[in-house]
Amino acid sequence: MSLTTNPNVLKWVDEMIALCKPDKVVWIDGSQEQLDALTAEVTSLPDGDPNKMYYLNQEKLPGCLYHRTAENDVARVEDRTFICTRNKEDAGPTNNWMDPQEMYAKLTPMYDGVMKGQTMYIIPYSMGPVASPISKIGVEITDSIYVVLNMNIMTRMGKAAFDRLGDSNDFVRCLHSKADVDPEKRYIVQFPEDNTIWSINSAYGGNVILSKKCFALRIASFQGKNEGWMAEHMLILGVQKPDGETKYVCAAFPSACGKTNLAMLIPPEGYLKDGYKVFTVGDDIAWLKPGEDGRLYAINPENGFFGVAPGTNAKSNYNALASTMKNAIFTNVALNNADNTVWWEGLDKNPPEDATEWTGIKTNGKEWTAEGKKLAHPNSRFTAPAANCPCISPEFDSAAGVPISAIVFGGRRASTTPLVYQSFDWTHGTYIGSAVSSETTAAATGAVGVHRHDPMAMKPFIGYNVGDYWQHWLDMGAKLGDKAPKIFNVNWFKKDENGNFMWPGFGDNMRVLDWIIKRCDGTVEADETAIGYLPKMGDINVSGIEDEVTPEIMEKLLAVDKNLWTQEIAEMRRYYDEDIAAKGGRIPADLYSVLDKIEANLNK
C-alpha cells in the first residue's frame, strides 16, 4: 500500500517499478515495527551473503549492527561520479559530465530488471527538520536494507516527509541499486535539472545514502544557486560563552580532515572552568539561507553522523564515541571476537587478539600487523543518531536554524598556511575558500596524501560550474552586506622540520575558536599582513599547553613565509588559469583582483 497520494511520486514510483521489476515493493513508513522486521531479516541472512548485517554485543552496544562492504567498494568513487546537465559548461571543470539523455540511455538497461527476485524499498525522507522552511524532501528507492537502516539514522525518514510534501513535485528522485557491486559498472549520477540521482553497483555509504553527498551537496548546491541559498560541506557548532551568549560557527574542511572532531570538541580544562560550552549542530553538511533579520542562518539537513571510525577514541573525540554506543551501524571496522564488539586503529592501543579484520578474515592478533595492514579499513565508518550525541545543540531541531557569525575554511597543509588567519572581507574570504587545498584521504578511492585543490572542501560536491559557484558566494556576500559572517582559515596540520604536527589539535582547537569569536565580537586586535589578519603573539591562549606550544612554536605556527606565499599565489594563478578558466570555469573577475592584491602585498 502506498504511503502517499502525491501523483508525482506515484507516477515516478510506477516508472521505477516497471524499470527495476522487483518481486515486492515496500513503502518505508519509519515505524519501529517495520525497522525491527527489516533488522531481523537482514541479520538472519546466511554468513557469506554480501548483504548480511550482524548484531553486535547487545548488552554493551544495544541496537548496534555491523556490516562490511566488498573490498572494492569502501569509499566514494569520484572518477565514476557525474553531473549531467544539458550544457556541458554548466557542469564545469570540476565534474565529470555526460549528456543527460545519453546517460539515461546508458544506465536504463543496467536498471532493467535489476530487482527481479528482490524487494524494492521506497524511502520518503526530509532533509532538515520537517517543519523548517529551509528543509527539502527526497524519496530514495533502493534494494538494500542496509541503506534503509542507514537512512533511518541519517535523515528524518518516514510518512511525515510525505505529509510535508503534500502534492508538490519539489522532491529529489533517488534511485539506487546495488546490482552486482561491479566496480566497472559503478555510476553515481546526478541530474540537477531533473532533481534526480541514479546510483548503481555500489553498497558503500557516500555512494548509496543518496541523501548525503548526492542530494544535500550536489543537487542542493544547484538548487541553492537558483533559489538564493547555499549547500556547503560544513560542520555547524555553537560556542556558549560564560556570559551565556552562544555564537555559531560553520567550518568547511575536506573529507577526513577534522569536521566531526571539531563539531564535537570538548574545550580544555581552563575553558570549562570559565564556563565555556560547545554544542554540535552538524558535523558534515550545512544549508545556509538569509533570515528575515538579514543574517545568515544554518540548518543541518542530516539527522545523524556518518563518521570516520579510525582515530576516534575517548580522548580525541569522546562525544563521537559516545554517540556510537547505541542504535549505531558500524561499517568496515574490525570485530573483537572475545565479546562481539568493534575495534579500529586509534580506538586504544590494544588490538584484540581474537579479531576479524574488516575484510572478514579472522586473525590471531599477530599476522595482521605485517606491512601497514590495518584491522579496520582507514575509511571505516559509524552511522550514529545525532540524538545520541552528549553535546547535541538544543537548537538541533530548530526550524529557523542558527545564526552564523563565522565561516572557517581549512585543510591538511604541512607548510605555508598559518594556524589561523582572518580574511580582509567577504570577497577575500571567498578567494580563501577557492584556494582550499589539502592532502587526499581514504574517504575517496585513489592515492592518499596527494596535495590537491579542493575549493571550499567542495571539489567532489559542487553540482554545477565552479566559477558560477564562486560567483554565487560573492552574490550571497553582497546580499548579506555588513551582516555577513566573518571568514577565517585554519590549519591544524602544520608540521615541523621532523614531520611532526606542531599544533596539538582536537580539544585545543577551542583556543583558535576563541580567537575567532573574539574577532567577531570585536574584542581582540589583529596584525594586518599581506595575506589577511593574523593573531598578535600572545593572543592565542596557550595556558595549560605552554610546554607543548612554546613561543618559538607559536611563531612558526603563525608565520607567513614570503617565499612560500609567493609560490602559493603563483600556484593559485596557475590553478585559476589552467585548471579552471582554460577548462570552462567562469571565474569572477573579483577573485582575480584578490589574487592581484595579495601578490602586490607580498611584493611590498
| Of positions 41, 501, 550, 561, contacts ligand GTP by CB under 6 A | 501
Rule CB under 6 A: choose which of 260, 327, 340, 489 binds ligand GTP.
260
Residue type, 362: K
List beta partners, residue 251: 235, 408
H helix runs in 413-545, sequence order? 426-434, 466-480, 510-521
Name which position in 206, 268, 410, 463 contacts ligand SPV (CB under 6 A): 206
446 touches ligand GTP (CB under 6 A): no
Nearer to ligand GTP by C-beta: 260 or 430?
A: 260
Say which entry of ligand SPV, ligand GTP, Mn ion, none residue 501 contacts (CB below 5 to 8 A, set by partner kind): ligand GTP
The nearer residue to ligand SPV, 208 or 549, going by C-beta atoms, is: 208
Which one of ligand SPV, Mn ion, ligand GTP, none is in contact with 213 (Cβ closer than 5 to 8 A by kind)?
ligand SPV
Interacting residues with Mn ion between 337 and 376 (CB under 5 A): none
- Shortest Cβ distance from residue 261 to ligand GTP (Å)? 4
CB-neighbour burial class of residue 345 (10 A; exposed 0-12, middle 13-18, buried 19+): middle
If DSSP states are collapsed to H, E and C, what string results for 75-112? CECHHHEEECCCCHHHHCCCCEECCHHHHHHHHHHHHC
Residue (255 or 383) nearer to Mn ion, CB: 255
Amino acid letter for position 343? W
List the beta bridge partners of residue 307: 382
Closer by beta carbon to Mn ion, 215 or else 271:
215
Shortest Cβ distance from residue 254 to ligand SPV (Å)? 7
Q: Looking at 204-212, 422-430, 525-533, 542-550, which segment touches ligand SPV (CB under 6 A)?
A: 204-212
Contact 64, 331 (CB under 8 A): no
- DSSP conformation class of 267: P
> How many chain residues interact with ligand GTP (CB under 6 A)?
21
| 284 part of the interface to Mn ion, by CB under 5 A | yes
Restricting to residues 269-308, which ones interact with ligand SPV according to CB under 6 A? 284, 306
Residues of span 236-255 touching Mn ion by CB under 5 A: 255
What's the CA gap between 184 and 73, in Å, rounded? 11
Question: DSSP label at 265?
Answer: P
CB nearer to Mn ion: pick between 221 and 255? 255
Pairing verdict, β 486-490 and 402-410: parallel
| 255 is an interface residue for ligand SPV by CB under 6 A | yes
Number of residues lying near ligand SPV (CB under 6 A): 9
- Residue with C-alpha cell 568493534? 342
Closest CB to Mn ion among 78 and 284?
284
DSSP-derived letter for residue 431 is H
Distance CA 186, CA 75 (A): 12
**Which of ligand SPV, Mn ion, ligand GTP, none is residue 212 near (CB under 5 to 8 Å by kind)?**
ligand SPV
Among the residues of 94-219, which ranges form H helices? 100-111, 145-154, 159-165, 205-208
Task: Find the binder of ligand SPV among 13, 66, 68, 76 (CB under 6 A).
Answer: 76
Supply angle C-alpha 500, 505, 509, rounded to 5: 150
| Interface pattern 279-318 for ligand GTP (x via CB under 6 A) | ----xx----------------------xx-xx-------
Q: Tell me the one-letter amino acid at 510.
A: M
Asked if residue 261 binds ligand GTP (CB under 6 A), the reply is yes
From the list Mn ion, ligand GTP, ligand SPV, none, pick the one residue 505 interacts with, judged by a Cβ distance below 5 to 8 Å according to partner type.
ligand GTP
CB 109 within 8 A of CB 185: no
* x-or-dash string of contact with ligand SPV, 543-572, rule CB under 6 A: ------------------------------
Query: Binder to ligand GTP among 39, 135, 255, 437 (CB under 6 A)?
Result: 255
- Which among 504-512, 538-546, 552-560, 571-579 is the span making contact with ligand GTP, rule CB under 6 A? 504-512
3-state secondary structure at position 355: strand
SS3 track for 325-349: CCCCEEECCEEECCCCEEECECCEC
Collect all residues with Cβ–Cβ distance below 8 Å to 272 and sequence separation of at least 6. 266
Residue 373's binding partner among ligand GTP, ligand SPV, Mn ion, none (Cβ under 5 to 8 angstroms by kind) is: none
Confirm or reject binding of residue 68 to ligand SPV (CB under 6 A): no
Nearer to ligand SPV, 179 or 235 (CB): 235
Query: What are the grid coordinates assigned to 284, written together?
Result: 558534515
Q: Which three cell numbers stand for residue 452?
A: 590537491
Instruction: Give me the active site residues, please.
Output: 257
Residue 455 interacts with ligand SPV (CB under 6 A)? no
Please give the Cα distance from 563 to 572 (Å, whole number): 14
The torsion angles phi and psi of 428, rounded to 5 degrees, stand at -65, -35
Q: Is 266 in the site for ligand GTP (CB under 6 A)?
A: no
Contact 206, 213 (CB under 8 A): yes
Q: Please give the Cα distance from 405 to 407 (Å, whole number).
A: 7
Enumerate residues 445-464 that contact Mn ion by CB under 5 A.
none
d(CA 547, CA 21): 66
Closest CB to ligand GTP among residues 209, 594? 209
Cell (9 digits) for 241:
560563552
Please state, in angstroms and rounded to a whole number, the distance separating the CA atoms of residues 529 and 433. 18
Decide whether 511 or 519 has the Cβ nearer to ligand GTP.
511
Helices and strands (H and E) in the chain: how many: 17, 31
**409 part of the interface to ligand GTP, by CB under 6 A:** no
Q: Which does 27 bind (CB under 5 to 8 A by kind): ligand SPV, ligand GTP, Mn ion, none?
A: none
Binding residues for ligand SPV, rule: CB under 6 A, are 76, 205-206, 212-213, 255, 284, 306, 443
Binding residues for Mn ion, rule: CB under 5 A, are 255, 284
Binding residues for ligand GTP, rule: CB under 6 A, are 253, 255-261, 283-284, 307-308, 310-311, 443, 492-493, 501, 505-506, 509
